[in-house]
Chain A
Amino acid sequence: MIYTAPDRRQALAMIGAAALCLSARPARSAPSPISFNELYGKVSVLGLTFSDKVKALEGKPVAMRGFMAPPLKAEANFFVLTEIPMALCPFCSSDADWPDDIIVVYLDHAQTFEQANATIEVSGKLEVGSWTDPDTGFVSLLRIVNADFRRV
């Protein structure tokens, strides 16, 4: 499995759709580390609130460790970073069955799949807010874009 960066047409479509996802690649300063348990300030049955740290790091370079979940669809140009290795129920595996605290990662350039048993560290720009992937319909609240990753 090779993850590819979105092609130009997709990129334009994404910019056109919400002007959200792909800005010019910023000069990389040292990314701020952030962990899964720092994502939400208030967790409630009636909704989650992003933590102050997430709000402060919005649009800024971050580094985050987790596990790479296998893609929903082979052609997806993103992957899901999870706190623990994922095992999805075969009868209920829709994107809605992912845990709340996932990060969607849009890669800057193609990288090969890392085995789900291995911890990886993803670096890139933190994006906050609901975004529906135009190709797959996958809804995410937190994303790391212009990203790359390495095995820890």
Chain B
Amino acid sequence: MRSLLAILTATTILVPAVAGAATVYPLDRATILTASPFDVKVEFDGVVAGSDVTVTINGKPAAEVLGKEATFIEKEDGVEASAVRLEGVTIAEPGTYTVVAKAGDDEKTVTWEVYGTSAEPKAKNVIFLIADGLSVAHRTAARIMSKGMTEGKANGRLNMDDLDRMAFIGTSSTESVATDSANTMSAYMTGHKSAVNALGVYADRTADPFDDPKVETLVEALRRQTSKSVGIVTTSELQDATPAALFAHTRRRAEKAAINTQIFDLKPEVILGGGSAYFLPQSVAGSKRKDDTDHVAGFRDAGYTLATTKGELEAAAGSNTGKVLGLFHTGNMDTTLDREFLKKGTVEKFPEQPGLVDMTKAAIDQLSKNAEGFVLIVEAANVDKMSHPLDWDRAVVDTIEFDKAIGVAREFAEKNPDTLIVVTGDHTHGVSIIGTVDDEKPGDQMREKVGTYAEAGFPNYVDSNGDGYPDSVDVSRRLFLAANNGPDHYETFRPKLDGPFVPAIQDENKKYIANEAYKDVPGAVFVEGNIPREGDTGVHAVDDVVLQATGPGSENFKGYMEQSDVYRVLADALALGTAQKK
């Protein structure tokens, strides 16, 4: 009797599961550009009979509205449940589309908004500059460190301080308030929010990282509708989440070899950054591919000029091909502080890396040769890559470099006013400036030297050569940026002059423990972590991102916007609802 009851209980648990709500991708409240291809997937909660399944859109069969037959999958791979898929469908007419998916008691209704754009483009060119992880503290610190401050007023303004319009951007994921660089940049570049780690897809329930329902990326839309040139510039690996989001469709951002192939297939005219390891066939030492594909040879065969150093990039600028592949590091490029000042990190191995400013100039020079215009995405990757390990000096100096790249874009836009400039971050970090650290303050312990309120005073950075960078970050009264989260680590209250900070390292149980390399730095104090011990570094914040913009189309940035709404503004400025191919 007891075992029978157990079975009955188990059965009754299963029944509501089957009768639960199905999931429909694109999700409820999705916004979709007219005529842009996307995949539809319905995931039922249990196994259902194909004959019981109906999917309607505004009351008509989905196949009729979308012009394609649906495929019914009785049992998905590794899942005891059924699904319906329609691949590469489009909707031509703007409007509200109500989708009802039904199988027996399992029913789900979602509504999509399909939007059109201006008939004529407002902007010929778009320069979209993104500092990964850009938070308010990075901006404020960059301004104070670069320009100085007297009696509470900044002694100068950053290039980003004079953009005309702004909006607060909500960065949350489809499954979580928190977020990462994959789904955030993907939201900017597709107009669809997604899940952490996902690029150009909605994250479905199957394990395969390449079978998730796809949405169109900005570069794909540009190729479909325009003859514009496309450029990507980054200081990270070109396959890293942010640059990858222009091109890629995968649930798993770590699939970098496959992502590089997806970039190759779309052939952006200008490609400048790190990550050459994924361009090289596996037989070459330094390759991170697991096949014999040689993308360097592939791009060369496609007419690209190759540059591997700052000097070669300058030489390539004279090329009239309009197509440049610049690979300057096997992995992520070094920070500005290491590249230009300290010569640490991997600068000894790769001493001739260009900076973000050089790369942005070279990209604009090449792309602007196209009379049909261009779209350029510029990423300052190290703002994030140095904020994770709580290396605030490196993150802030890279923010200054980012601002100089914004200056290059603004200079171009002054002469070419049909250019929309967007400046933003993809997500924020848990960091704030709380005052200064003053070595001259009395006390044996470094925390006694932290100046707060009136005791903070002003930092004493010096920029004697006027290059916008402080001559040294290691001054006696410096900004104190404090993380609100992190792993166990030693706080040294000082810039890390010997190389980027590594706050914590993994132990045999995969838990992160404080890196003892900093234990004996004079005045270092142990800071107990406040995130799970599986976390290696500081984490992204859920706080809004500040987006700024100037130029035609920028008037549509205002108030609070979802990250996915930014794509709609770009699409409207470029009239991506209108065929413009020449």
CA distance A90 to B278 in the complex (A): 20
Whether A49 contacts B285 by the Cβ 8 Å rule is yes
C-alpha spacing A97/B350, complex, angstroms:
18
Q: How far is the CA of A137 from the CA of B181 in the complex (A)?
A: 27
Interface-side segment among A10-18, A25-33, A38-46, A58-66 = A38-46
* B494 contacts across to A, CB distance below 8 A: none
Q: How far is the CB of B566 from chain A (nearest CB, A)?
A: 22
- A136 contact set on B, CB distance < 8 A: none
B308 and A46: CB pair below 8 A? yes
Q: Mark B108-121, 1 if CB is under 8 A from A, else 0.
A: 00000000000000
Question: Which B508-541 residues have a C-beta within 8 angstroms of A?
Answer: 508-510, 512-513, 515-517, 534-537
B370 at the interface (CB under 8 A from A): no
Indicate if the CB atoms of B196 and A86 lie closer than 8 Å.
Answer: no
Q: Which of B86-94, B125-133, B251-259 contacts A (4 or more CB under 8 A)?
A: B251-259
| Complex-state Cα separation, A84 to B517, whole angstroms | 10
Cβ-closest chain B residue relative to A69: B506
B182 at the interface (CB under 8 A from A): yes
Contact at B285–A50, with CB atoms within 8 Å?
yes
Evaluate contact between A99 and B331: CB separation under 8 angstroms: yes
Known contacts A96-B254, A130-B283: A89-B388 contact under CB 8 Å: yes
Among candidates A43, A92, A99, residue contacting B350 with C-beta atoms closer than 8 Å: A43
Q: A44 touching B308 by the CB < 8 A rule? A: yes
Interface contact A70-B510, CB-CB below 8 Å: yes
Asked if A86 meets B327 with Cβ closer than 8 Å, knowing A46-B296, A96-B257, the reply is no
Contacts A87-B502, A87-B506, A116-B506 given; indicate if A47 touches B286 (C-beta within 8 A): yes
Q: Are B285 and A116 in contact (CB under 8 A)?
A: no
Pair A70/B327 contact, Cβ less than 8 Å: no
Residue of chain A at shortest CB distance from B487: A87
Give the residues in chain B near A40, CB-CB below 8 Å.
285
Chain A residue, CB-CB nearest to B290: A139
Query: In the complex the two chains form, what is the Cα distance from A88 to B506 in whole Å?
Result: 8
User: What number of B residues sit within 8 Å (CB to CB) of A?
Assistant: 53
Do residues B534 and A90 form an inter-chain contact, with CB atoms below 8 A?
A: yes
Closest A residue, CB atoms, query B255:
A94
Closest to A117 in B: B516
Which residues from chain A contact B537 at a C-beta distance below 8 Å? 87, 89
Residues in B neighbouring A85, C-beta threshold 8 A:
502, 505, 515, 517
Q: What is the chain A residue whose CB lies nearest that of B280? A: A47
CB distance from B114 to the nearest CB of A (A): 32
Does more than half of chain A's interface fall in helix, strand or loop, or is it mixed? Answer: loop
> Across the interface, do B515 and A117 meet the contact criterion of CB distance under 8 Å?
yes
The reply on A35 being an interface residue by CB < 8 A is no
Contacts of A91 in B (CB 8 A): 180-182, 196-197, 241, 253-254
Instruction: Annotate B321-349 by CB proximity to A: 1 below 8 A, 0 otherwise.
Output: 00000011111000000000000000001
A115 to chain B, nearest CB (A): 6
Given A87-B506, A92-B253, A117-B505: A47 and B350 interface contact (C-beta under 8 Å): no
The answer to whether A48 and B536 touch across the interface, beta carbons within 8 angstroms, is no
A135 part of interface (Cβ distance < 8 Å)? no
Residue B504 CB within 8 A of the other chain: yes
Binary contact track B154-183/A, C-beta < 8 Å → 1, others 0: 000000000000000000000000001110
Measured CA separation A139–B280 after assembly (Å)? 14
Which of chain A's residues has its CB closest to B256's CB? A96
Interface centre among B197, B508, B509 (most CB of A within 10 A): B508
Query: With A45-B328, A115-B507 given, is the CB distance from A90 to B502 under 8 Å?
Result: no
| Contact call A45/B308, Cβ cutoff below 8 A | yes
- What is the bound-complex CA distance between A96 and B283, given in angstroms? 15
Q: Are B502 and A115 in contact (CB under 8 A)?
A: no
Contact status A130-B502, CB under 8 Å:
no
A87 lies within 8 A of B285 (CB): no
Q: Judging by beta carbons under 8 Å apart, are A93 and B285 in contact?
A: no
Q: Which residues of A contact B140 (CB under 8 A)?
A: none
- Is B536 a contact partner of A70 (Cβ separation < 8 A)? no
- B536 A89 Cβ-Cβ under 8 A: yes
Whether A87 contacts B256 by the Cβ 8 Å rule is no
Instruction: Kindly state the separation between the CA atoms of A85 and B181 in the bound complex, as whole angstroms.
Output: 25
In the assembled complex, the CB of B195 is this many whole angstroms from the nearest CB of chain A, namely: 12
> For window 80-116 of chain A, which residues contact chain B by CB distance below 8 Å?
84-94, 96-97, 99-100, 113, 115-116
Can you identify 17 A-B contacts, CB atoms within 8 angstroms?
Answer: A43-B350, A45-B327, A46-B276, A47-B286, A47-B287, A85-B505, A87-B389, A93-B254, A94-B254, A96-B278, A97-B254, A100-B331, A115-B508, A116-B506, A117-B513, A117-B515, A130-B283
- Would you list the 5 A-B pairs with minimal beta carbon distance, nearest first? A113-B508, A85-B505, A48-B286, A94-B254, A47-B284
